[in-house]
Amino acid sequence: MNAFELDKELKNNLIILKSHTKSIAQTMFSYIDKDRERLTEFLPWVKHTRSVSDSESYIEFCAQNWIQKKRFDYGIYKASTNEYVGNIGVHTIEWDYNSCELGYWILGKHEGSGLVSESIKLLEAYLFKNGFNRVQIKCSDLNAKSSAVPKRCGYHFEGTLRQDCIENGVYRNTQVYSKLALD
């Protein structure tokens, strides 16, 4: 098992990334429920989030994965107000290659505010500083807003995986973006 320990809180002057605690479950669920239609378009897990209990289970899952160093999920908070606005996580970790994938979502009313880009920059800087070599971001080729984020953050477009998964019952293409520590 890798000796890497990710801090439970990362921050700069715009955002704070905090590991999930059960105290956020109600808010997390209400945000997902409020924005269900928009989020369901590209995020398959939304349809399985039907109650506060489901959000609590997700937070427990995140805590266990954190301990096992399988994935590290954070809530995104505005630094000025401490308002929770979405999630970002370190997933698909390949410890042998010091690589991982970032995934994110944000409440619709905060889209375009730069909070996701700022979260990515903060998290990737921390990962690179602590030995990661490669960070990648994948998203549906139909999700223009999500694919704009890695472009804005200086990620390199590597290509499109054709019909590599099923989204809402239909095959979809996935765009792959990456950044290396030396970038």
Contacts of 125 (CB under 8 A, 6+ apart): none
Helix/strand/coil for 42:
coil
On whether residue 4 sits in a domain, the answer given is no
pLDDT band at 52 (very low <50, low <70, confident <90, very high): very high
pLDDT for the residue 179: 98
Q: CA-CA distance, 159 to 117, in Å (whole number)?
A: 21
pLDDT (tens digit per residue) in 67-76 = 999 999 999 9
The 8 Å CB, 24+ separation contacts for 28-37 are: 28/55, 28/58, 28/59, 28/75, 28/84, 28/87, 29/54, 29/55, 31/84, 31/86, 31/107, 34/107, 35/107, 35/108
pLDDT for the residue 57: 94
Q: CA-CA distance, 3 to 144, in Å (whole number)?
A: 37
pLDDT greater than 90 at residue 151? yes
Q: CA-CA distance, 102 to 179, in Å (whole number)?
A: 11
pLDDT greater than 90 at residue 165? no
Which of 1-5, 28-32, 109-113, 153-157 has the lowest average pLDDT? 1-5
pLDDT for the residue 8: 93
pLDDT greater than 90 at residue 140? no
pLDDT band at 84 (very low <50, low <70, confident <90, very high): very high
pLDDT band at 1 (very low <50, low <70, confident <90, very high): very low
- For 45, the domain range is 9-180
Higher-pLDDT residue of 134, 7:
134
On whether residue 112 sits in a domain, the answer given is yes
Q: CA-CA distance, 107 to 103, in Å (whole number)?
A: 14
pLDDT for the residue 3: 61
On whether residue 34 sits in a domain, the answer given is yes
pLDDT band at 168 (very low <50, low <70, confident <90, very high): confident
Instruction: Give the chain's mean pLDDT.
Output: 92
Q: What percent of the chain has pLDDT over 90?
A: 75
CATH code of the domain covering residue 67: 3.40.630.30
On whether residue 3 sits in a domain, the answer given is no
On whether residue 1 sits in a domain, the answer given is no
On whether residue 170 sits in a domain, the answer given is yes
pLDDT for the residue 32: 92
Domain count, the chain: 1
Tokens 């010091």 sit at which residue? Answer: 98
Q: CA-CA distance, 61 to 7, in Å (whole number)?
A: 18
